[in-house]
Amino acid sequence: MWVDDNELPLMSADLVVVRREESEQLDWECVAVTVRTTPLPQSPCRLVMDDLFSDRQFHGEALVVRSDEQRHVFRGGGILGGITATDEFG
């Protein structure tokens, strides 16, 4: 995972994507656990995430909601690139 072109050393991460009936835009959020690092400031950022299992890359603008030395929560702030029309969401 990269945050504004700075690589975060991940231990795990979950990308949650939801399609709602009332909106054409997807809602998304990423919760990441890293090795110990400097907390990120609560501010807008650009995320790039590689899915090693499917060999896909996701990217988009997000907001750092919470960040400490190991846990980081990002809330999507727009389009999530890398999603296709055939992907299914709950």
For the chain, the structural domain boundaries read 2-76
- Judge contact between 33 and 12, C-beta under 8 A: yes
Q: What is the pLDDT of residue 89?
A: 58
- Side chain identity, residue 51: D
Given CA atoms 79, 49, 6, 10 in this order, what sign does their dihedral have? positive
Q: What is the pLDDT of residue 60?
A: 97
Determine the straight-line distance between the first and last CA of the chain, rounded to whole angstroms: 24
Mean pLDDT of 56-75: 96
pLDDT tens string 31-61: 999 999 999 999 999 999 998 888 899 999 9
Q: What is the pLDDT of residue 84?
A: 74
Long-range contacts of 15-18 (CB under 8 A, 24+ apart): 15/49, 15/51, 15/58, 17/80, 17/83, 17/87, 17/89, 18/89, 18/90
Mean pLDDT of 63-88: 90
**Which pTM was predicted?**
0.89
pLDDT(87) > 80: no
Q: What is the pLDDT of residue 1?
A: 95
Mean pLDDT of 69-81: 95
- Judge contact between 64 and 47, C-beta under 8 A: no
